[in-house]
Amino acid sequence: MADDGADPELFDKIVNLSRRRGFVFPSAEIYGGFRSTYDYGPLGVLMLRNVKEQWWRSMVQLRDDVVGLDAAILSPPAIWEASGHLQNFTDPLVDCRNCHERFRLDKLDDPRTCPNCGAEDSFTEARQFNLMFKTFAGPVEESAAEVYLRPETAQGMFVNFKNVLTVSRKRPPFGIAQIGKSFRNEITPGNFVFRTREFEQMEMEFFVPPDDAGKWYEYWCEERYRWYVDLGMPESKLRLRAHDADELSHYSSGTSDVEFLFPWGWDELEGIANRGDFDLTQHSEHSGEKLEYFDQATGERYVPHVVEPAAGATRTTMAFLMAAYDEEEVRGETRTVLRLDPRLAPYKVAVLPLSRNEKLSPMARDVLHRLQPHFMTDYDETQAIGRRYRRQDEIGTPLCVTVDFESLDDKAVTIRQRDSMAQTRVPVEEVVDQVANLLDA
Ligand code: GAP
């Protein structure tokens, strides 16, 4: 373990587990891979959906002041002109004249020494590199047809502010939430799915009366930190860090990051930004549409300020995997177990007949069919039962239901719990209720 508690070995363990068990595959692997893009496999897609579902539940479903949106990914330059991304969404790039490696100047520990070859003062002048992906709409590749893949979901909420205000009959304070893919031509992608060129975000723009922005900023910092804790992240690996003035984005008057202790040290999971009236004012000026709120009660007209919690779904999924990873000694053997919160676990329950046997299969399949409508359920009848428990532990399945030869007579099954390995016998008629109770507990 490193001094600050970071665990560098954990990184390889998670990458290996992800590949081996089907959480995350390198993209286009049969063609040698496509650098730093990833595909989510059978388990990864389930877990990523669960992370997004939990975010949506807490940000939209359980609130009466936030509504949802799913805006287009392709967008006209006008949006990015107004948002400031065309001018400001850049990274400073330098090349080493000696080894020809390329680096982000702002990420170098020592801006004079090449971290690759050690050469001194070998860097070129910094060039500003825009991170947005550009493409063309229609058959002609000309500047009039240029469009961008969105580098954040946020602008979709700002340009739809008026639409949503009109149809939802909400009034500030209220929010618009969105989950979706974003694209950035990152110069230094890396650390597995931590920084990729294609990723998923979960963002919410909360529109408030200007005088209340500070209060809501504090509220969302606290609320978002709690979300991770509630889903099982240990507080020893989580912190809220306020940005220094020189770290702030071009739009922000205050930002705090929720940070996780990754294997390489503390790094960002989510940013909560106090964006002021920057976005609505910019889009108002560029589009000619008034983007403001008229308060009929007070007769006041104002441009709402915005507090934005912006999280990464793909990055957060990896952090939950890392937080859940555990190894323990059980009867002289190492057991790998993902102690995932049941709400995030890919499968909630697995049905395991004691052995592959034609007498057991019908009953085991009956149990499977009882559970499937309620829970994501796995079914596995190959290998020894002990091996199969371990396979489920390793992917975080909270419960296993075993059907044995006695089950045929007593019409009961055994439920085995992942964390305690405790086993309880329950009548097959009660299996759905019992599984639901254990998952809730
Ligand atoms: N609208 C504000 C915004 O986009 P950001 O800090 O650039 O803010 C928000 O992005 C979150 O999106 C980050 O905290 C991170 O979790 C995720 N994210 C950003 N760039 C990413 C990348 N290249 N790969 C994976 N996740 C990324």
Whether 39 is in the pocket of ligand 1, judged by its Cβ within 6 Å, is: no
Looking up tokens 């052995």, which residue turns up?
355
- Per the listing, tokens 């702030």 go with 248
Place of tokens 């990723």: 199
The pair of structure tokens assigned to 174 is: 């209220």
> Given the CA of residue 195, which atom of ligand 1 is nearest to it?
24
pLDDT tops 70 at residue 301: yes
246 falls in which pLDDT band (50, 70, 90)?
A: confident
Express each pLDDT in 197-223 by its tens digit: 999 999 999 999 999 999 999 999 999
- Provide mean pLDDT across the span 409-425: 98
Mean pLDDT of the region 233-251: 91
> Which pLDDT belongs to residue 107?
85
Instruction: Give the per-residue pLDDT at 65.
Output: 98
For ligand 1, is residue 85 a contact (CB within 6 Å)? no
The reported pTM is: 0.95
- The pLDDT score that the predictor gives to residue 36 is 85
Given the CA of residue 203, which atom of ligand 1 is nearest to it? Answer: 1
Is any atom of ligand 1 closer than 6 Å to the C-beta of 165? Answer: no
pLDDT digits (tens, 9 = 90+) for 357-406: 999 999 999 999 999 999 999 999 999 999 999 999 999 999 999 999 99
**Alpha carbon distances (Å) from 324 to 45, 226, 234, 315, 397:** 17, 17, 9, 14, 12
Q: Average the pLDDT over each of 32-36, 111-115, 259-263, 351-355 and give the range with the smallest value.
A: 32-36
E-strand ranges in 331-383 read: 333-338, 349-353, 377-379
Break the chain down into helix, strand, coil percent, rounded to 5.
35, 30, 35
Protein residue with its CA nearest to atom 8 in ligand 1: 310
Which phi and psi angles does 315 have, rounded to 5°? -65, -40
How far separated are the first and last CA of the chain, in Å rounded? 32
pLDDT at 257 > cutoff 90: yes
Task: Give me ligand 1 centre to Cα 427, in Å.
Answer: 48
- Quickly state the pLDDT bin for 414 (edges 50, 70, 90): very high
pLDDT at 224: 98
Distance 309 CA to ligand 1 centre (A): 11
The answer on pLDDT for 247 being more than 60 is: yes
Q: Which of 3-12, 28-37, 161-170 has the highest mean pLDDT?
A: 161-170
**pLDDT given at position 248:** 83
Q: Find the 346 Cα to ligand 1 centroid distance in Å.
A: 24
Please provide the average confidence, as pLDDT, over all residues in the chain: 95
For strands 238-242 and 198-208, give the pairing.
Answer: unpaired
- Average pLDDT score over residue span 313-319: 98
Q: Give me ligand 1 centre to Cα 367, in Å.
A: 42
